Structure 1
Amino acid sequence: MDKKGDGSLHLPRSCCTVCLAGMVIAITVALTALPTTVLAAFDEQLAIDPVAVSLANAVTAHPPGHMAIHYNPGGLSTLPDGKHFSAGASVVPVIEATSSFIQDPEFPGFMDTYREDIEVNGKSGTSTSGFMFLPVYDQTIDFLGAPAYALSFRKPGSRWTFAVGGYAPFGIGLTHGDADDPSVFGGKSVYHQHLIYFSPALSCQITPDLSVGASVGLGHSSIGAELEMRAPNDMVALTKLLGDVTQGLEIPVLSELTLPPPWFGGGVGPFNRVASLEITVWDNFSPNFNIGLLWEPLKWLSMGACYQSAIKSRQAGRYSFDYSDEWKRLMNWLGSSPTLFIVSNVLDLPTGAVDHQSGRVTSEVEYPQRAQFGIKLQPFQRLRLMVDLNWADWSSFKQDTFVFDQDIQVFEVVKLLGYTGGNNTLILKRNWKDTWHWSFGLEVDLLEWLTVRFGYEYRPSSIPDVTYDLVYPMPDLENYGAGFGIRFANGVVLDFAGAYLVNKSTSIPNNSSINMNSTDFTKPVYNPYASMNYEQKTEAYIFSFKISMPTQVITEMFSRLF
């Protein structure tokens, strides 16, 4: 872009320019007037670059240096001539999701008998750390963070800028390390992430005030969860009720040939643990592309737009089911007499218990296509105001589907309650919505070498209450960002940022979510908190830093050392 002039506001005289200014003001007012009930974000763009973190992602018309690769590839043309390098990282040292459960006072009890859930009712728990998957090592760690790097090159006077980088456009994860935390039934540990390890990009300055660009991302995507499974519903409670009343009911010979007591092996209580489940799936090659445009029609006005393609990921990994003693007694009972053996085979039910099932699992996941639009106003040389509007196609996320390499006993049984996913497939309905949200940023050059930044972003959740659960515990969030940049005479720039994300209270009343607390026994997968009113408070802190410099500085440093 042509950066000549003092950057201050010059009032236009032509009719066309006046109309353009009026249009900008109207768009800005419209963006600020968006209702906060509009659904918005999930885990996109939480911690990529310190400049973007401090400006709460309001950077489409003011791209943050090398990370224009992601936010707006057209903005790469604003980088200086020559070869430049940047490296940094973003970490989330604190991510606290505090969950509280209170039994619905109107709940009559399962089978009008089993009401008191001593493991959950009246209890709360807080996540103890972040959680993420490490590519290459194929292991998880109790930490949440991601590095970022980039290189760029432009010949002096050339219209073309070339760059390559790596970063994390999607990512969230947390773990509940306390064994008594009731959240373990919904998500003891969960993560959802996409890391781009190599993204070549280029931009072209078509005219002095218009640039276009594109980037291609080669990335790694992964999803995982650990949880303690249970099935509080009327039909499960019925097995326990019949098991209790048939204790000691022994009819010689007849019982052994038909229904040996206690029935259902004593049954499974609606609040008993059924199994422990762990799933980890990943894809080491998930490509996507970004295209962007940056236009500066006036010295005090810039506009930017960026489209980011969907990321289609075919993930594969491992799983493990470990079954409880109550469940194993039930499975053994299904094959414990000639009559039960025949009936179980007719209904395609297990006829014997196993302690453990494990193997390979596959899943297809689509991270949504996105678009973002931004305006930058610079009324004074040292002051910049930004506003962004973001759209994400989260409606493409209809359900989670995990296909296992064998029939899973839990699914073989729950099909009798109406589950239609099949014996070897776990299906969790999501039905998320297309989303919109906005963000604001303020940047001030306090001194020639010091810039301070502030930002605000309202991120209402893209997850409707009807499919909310603790596998994706992302409620509405307010994002407050702040940071600063320091410029040195040799071209080195240090950027630091912090963000605070908060939701003081999210409520999911009893029977609101088919993935969490529905008491409808025809929805057996998966409602671990049936009969519970749920409350969640969420807080997270993000810290991000980056160093940028001409590669010549690095060369000079090494020459002095060696």
Structure 2
Amino acid sequence: MNPHATLRPHPAALAVAGALAAAAVLWPQATQAALTENLTTSVVAMSLGNAVTADPPGIASIHFNPAGLARLSGDSESIHNFVASIRTSASFTPGPNFDIGGWRDDPLSNTSTGPVRQIMFVPGYGVPGWRLPAVAVPGVGMAWNKAGSPWTFATDSYMSQAMSLDRTTDPNDPGQYQGRKEQIQRLVYLSPSVGYKYSDTLRFGVAVPIAHAAFVVDTNMRFPNELLGVFGQLQKGWCPEDGGNIIDVLGFGVCGGGKDGMVSPFKKAANMRLEMTAPFDPTLNLGVLWEPNPRFALGVVYQGGSKTHYTGYYQFDTEPMLRNFVRGMNASLLGPIAGATLGFPSSIPATQKGNMSAIIPFPSHLQVGIKLRPINLVQLNVDASYARWSEWDALRFQFDQSIKLLEVARLYGIPDSGKLVIPRGYRSLVNFAYGLQLYPMDRLTLRFGFEPRKTSVPNDKIDLLAPLPNTKLLSAGLNFKVSKNMDISVTGSYMKGRYNVPANTDCNLNCSNFLNIIYNPYAGQNVNGDIHVRYVGFEINKRF
């Protein structure tokens, strides 16, 4: 390894059904856009706030700037591991004049979410079912360089993105309506790469990270919108407690579902579980590194995106409220006629499951960085990055059968109940990152990082499955040279952010519009929340 390497850093009942259909495909993708980029990728890069494009971190250059591979000499190995915990919370208070179609006593008012743990997804197996205080992910990288050759070949395994939540400790946790469990990850298991030393000052690199992408979402659902509330109040005034009403039987059957078919905007309506994977999803990283002298360097990396094709299964478990209402309507004289005219199902099954697929873009990413070392004891790294989350103009999902709840949603302009196209409207942003290295002695390097991370999810799109507002990442770490051929890096990082969403301002979370069919389980509530990510990592580098 050359001398530079020793410095390297590193989501009426007609509205209910329509809302359920939209929510079924909306949540996981909202979370995907808020994934914690680069938080679990490199121990050294984390210690420098991920500002390492102009000083790529050894074998981890594969991700951050593959041109950095051409700075390695000889054969080398990197063994790395991280432990990360994600904690997020939210509190709910009723907004001004809180009223959901005549209903005012929301049991979630003035409550807060409870304990959060992590789960994990094992490729080829799925979710083991463990509830973890944190997640540990090991990885191994290898690089090969023949003495005197300008070519360096390498591969590495690492987690490029991850989001993990488990809110099942308390069965009454109000967060259950936007994610009881969530595991979304992109695990690079193979990354054939090459760096080329064009000259002593100019290097190029190419990497092909091959990833296994997965997400699991398990959530309960409720639908507190105004139309549902008004309809529930109509039922209360029209329907006897025992459900018997001869006039109603000769009409549209709004009472035919009995007590269990009485609609409430605050009752649990269903549970949804999605599990999908993309086992083989390659992308392309291209990097350039220019180091005219030891005091200055300029690096550029382009991380290509992909149209990731997910496949997997879904399952909807519908509560008696919706099932009984639809059954009662179809048991009346005029209800089936009205239902057939509007294309409604004759029934909603207690459980409907099957296979599904989705095309979810993995956005491309451009990062530019500089390295400044004015004196031997101090080095400053500054990076600017741009991720194209605006590619998320729409997300497309295909089911293996007609979804009964989507048949009801035909009333709202969804003609094909076997697929959905959901517009998103996320933002592409420029973010900056800063890293500082100090060299108090030959064998010791101290590292510090600061990354003010602007979120791609606007405040009117945030929800509990994508609870990532603007955040600040603070990091510290060190590198110690154990011997000529081995060094150890250790890093600790902390990221935090807060959000405040006033009632009726975010139609992924708390809108109560009369005809709103986008999922808003906390309609009319002010929602205040935060997120905290704690990270500890270590890395051992060996040269042969």
State the TM-score, normalizing by the size of structure 1. Answer: 0.86
For residues 166-215 of structure 1, the C-alpha deviation after alignment (integer angstroms, 9 at most, x for no partner) is 11112112121221211111122223321111001111111111101110
Instruction: Tell me the SS of whatever aligns to 2:381.
Output: strand
**Counterpart check, 1:330 vs 2:322:** no
- Between the aligned partners of 2:488 and 2:359, the Cα distance in structure 1 is 40
Q: Is the 8 A contact 1:419 1:522 kept in 2?
A: no
> Structure 2 stretches of 5 or more lacking a match?
8-32
Instruction: Tell me the SS of whatever aligns to 1:121.
Output: coil
Find 1:137's aligned residue among 125, 140, 158.
125
User: 1:114 — aligned with what?
Assistant: 103
Instruction: Tell me the SS of whatever aligns to 1:465.
Output: coil
Q: Is the 8 A contact 2:256 2:329 kept in 1?
A: no
User: 1:434 — aligned with what?
Assistant: 428
Following superposition, the deviation at residue 473 of structure 1 comes to: 1.5
Following superposition, the deviation at residue 43 of structure 1 comes to: 1.9
Following superposition, the deviation at residue 241 of structure 1 comes to: 1.6
CA distance 1:220–1:359, change in 2 (3 Å): same
CA distance 1:165–1:251, change in 2 (3 Å): closer
- Between the aligned partners of 1:365 and 1:241, the Cα distance in structure 2 is 40
State the TM-score, normalizing by the size of structure 2. Answer: 0.89
- Between the aligned partners of 2:76 and 2:358, the Cα distance in structure 1 is 39
Find 2:364's aligned residue among 362, 369, 373.
369
**Counterpart check, 1:544 vs 2:537:** yes
User: 2:308 — aligned with what?
Assistant: 313
What does residue range 410-425 of structure 1 map to in structure 2 within 5 Å?
410-416=405-411, 418=412, 420=414, 422-425=416-419
Following superposition, the deviation at residue 69 of structure 1 comes to: 0.5
CA distance 1:82–1:257, change in 2 (3 Å): same
**Counterpart check, 1:408 vs 2:403:** yes
Stretch of structure 1 that moved more, 425-434 or 282-291: 425-434
| Matched letter for residue 79 of structure 2 | A
Following superposition, the deviation at residue 507 of structure 1 comes to: 0.7
Q: How many residues align?
A: 510
Instruction: Tell me the SS of whatever aligns to 2:239.
Output: coil
Find 1:159's aligned residue among 147, 150, 155.
150
User: 2:520 — aligned with what?
Assistant: 527
Stretch of structure 1 that moved more, 51-60 or 185-194: 185-194
- Between the aligned partners of 2:454 and 2:115, the Cα distance in structure 1 is 21
RMSD: 2.2
Instruction: Tell me the SS of whatever aligns to 1:334.
Output: helix
**Counterpart check, 1:56 vs 2:44:** no
Find 2:162's aligned residue among 168, 171, 175.
171
What does residue range 471-490 of structure 1 map to in structure 2 within 5 Å?
471-490=465-484
User: 1:73 — aligned with what?
Assistant: 66
- Between the aligned partners of 1:404 and 1:2, the Cα distance in structure 2 is 54
| Matched letter for residue 77 of structure 2 | F
For residues 87-122 of structure 1, the C-alpha deviation after alignment (integer angstroms, 9 at most, x for no partner) is 111221x31111011110233x122x212211x110
Share of identical aligned residues, percent? 30
What does residue range 7-406 of structure 1 map to in structure 2 within 5 Å?
42-79=35-72, 81-92=73-84, 94-107=85-98, 109-111=99-101, 113-118=102-107, 120-139=108-127, 141-143=130-132, 144-177=135-168, 178-248=170-240, 252=246, 255-260=248-253, 262=255, 265=258, 266-406=261-401
- Between the aligned partners of 1:196 and 1:500, the Cα distance in structure 2 is 24
Stretch of structure 1 that moved more, 208-217 or 345-354: 345-354
| Matched letter for residue 200 of structure 1 | P
| Matched letter for residue 115 of structure 1 | R
| Matched letter for residue 117 of structure 1 | D
Q: Is the 8 A contact 1:98 1:537 kept in 2?
A: yes
For residues 495-525 of structure 1, the C-alpha deviation after alignment (integer angstroms, 9 at most, x for no partner) is 111100011x311111111211111233313
Instruction: Tell me the SS of whatever aligns to 1:207.
Output: coil
Q: Is the 8 A contact 1:250 1:261 kept in 2?
A: no
Following superposition, the deviation at residue 465 of structure 1 comes to: 1.9
Following superposition, the deviation at residue 76 of structure 1 comes to: 0.8
Instruction: Tell me the SS of whatever aligns to 1:133.
Output: coil
- Between the aligned partners of 2:401 and 2:230, the Cα distance in structure 1 is 28
Following superposition, the deviation at residue 427 of structure 1 comes to: 5.1
Following superposition, the deviation at residue 476 of structure 1 comes to: 1.1
- Between the aligned partners of 2:262 and 2:53, the Cα distance in structure 1 is 59
CA distance 1:41–1:322, change in 2 (3 Å): closer
